[in-house]
Amino acid sequence: MKKKTLTTIVIVAIILGSIYYLSRIAKPLTTGNNTPTSPVTENINPQPTIDNSDLRAGGSSYLDSQGVYALLYPADYKLDTQDKQHIRIYKTGATQKGQTEIYDGAMIVIEVVDLQRKSLQEWGDNHLKKVIADGTSEIIEPKKSMMLNNYPGFTYKIRGLGEATNYVLQKDILSNYAILITTSVNDPQNVGFQKEVDKTLSTLEILK
């Protein structure tokens, strides 16, 4: 009888120990303020803080020829669609001269990427290897997950002829496309080029 009682106690102890262990590993890790931790994703979404009503009222519009994205941009910016792979939206300042990198002005270059069944992260890793492969560019801010206008993706910054901030976005994880956006802004006369670029990006819609 004592042997059966001892066996029962051991079994109960094992069960209770298992329940306690499972409850510990299932519980999310917490920081000092008891907030569950998770991978950090920065939400770069200009819409709550930047008023783009002027663009919606009187800006120019662009719809990608493949129907992948659309956006608005300031009416005094130029649109260049001669390159079949990229479009350029840009404005130069008074001191900008010649066919060189932007040192007074702003430029947004957008490319539609066919992911070819790769995940966005896999495509991004391969892309960054190609960016630095020839030694003419260097990554000065590494790839970082983010969201822009609630579209998931990542951002990074490179230095080549000048410095550029890049965004790679997709509509959702089921999309076969990504949008690669490169922005270059230099504003020696403080006329507000960065604000105009932020406004433009805040109107971006990814359609498929």
**Per-residue pLDDT reduced to its tens digit, 63-113:** 999 999 999 999 999 999 999 899 999 999 999 988 788 899 999 999 999
Reading the block at residue 72, the tokens are: 């608005």
Q: What is the mean pLDDT of the chain?
A: 83
Q: Compute the distance between CA of residue 146 and CA of residue 114 in angstroms, rounded to an integer.
A: 20
Q: Give the mean model confidence (pLDDT) for residues 2-20.
A: 49
Q: Compute the distance between CA of residue 85 and CA of residue 110 in angstroms, rounded to an integer.
A: 9
> Nearest-CA neighbor of 100 among 92, 89, 112?
92
pTM higher than the cut 0.95: no
Q: Taking the domain 42-206, which CATH number applies?
A: 3.40.1000
What are the Cα distances from residue 159, in Å, to 46, 156, 166, 207? 24, 10, 11, 30
Helix/strand number for the chain, H first, E second: 4, 11
Count Cβ neighbours within 10 Å for each residue of 159-168 and write b for 16 or more, e otherwise: eeeebbebbb
Higher pLDDT, 181 or 162: 181
Residue 163 Cα to chain centre, angstroms: 17
Residue % of the chain over a pLDDT of 70 = 77
Q: Compute the distance between CA of residue 208 and CA of residue 197 in angstroms, rounded to an integer.
A: 23
Tokens 């001191």 sit on residue: 95
pLDDT at 110: 98
Give the three-class secondary structure for 172: coil
Q: Give the mean model confidence (pLDDT) for residues 32-55.
A: 57
Other Cβ atoms less than 10 A from the Cβ of 110: the count is: 20
Residue 28 has pLDDT above 90, yes or no: no
What are the Cα distances from residue 142, in Å, to 34, 36, 101, 158? 30, 26, 22, 9
Higher pLDDT, 84 or 22: 84
pLDDT at 26: 39
Residue 23 has pLDDT above 50, yes or no: no
pLDDT at 10: 46
Residue 126 has pLDDT above 70, yes or no: yes
Q: Give the mean model confidence (pLDDT) for residues 124-140.
A: 92
Residue 38 has pLDDT above 50, yes or no: no
Residue 183 has pLDDT above 60, yes or no: yes
Higher pLDDT, 168 or 15: 168
pLDDT at 34: 39
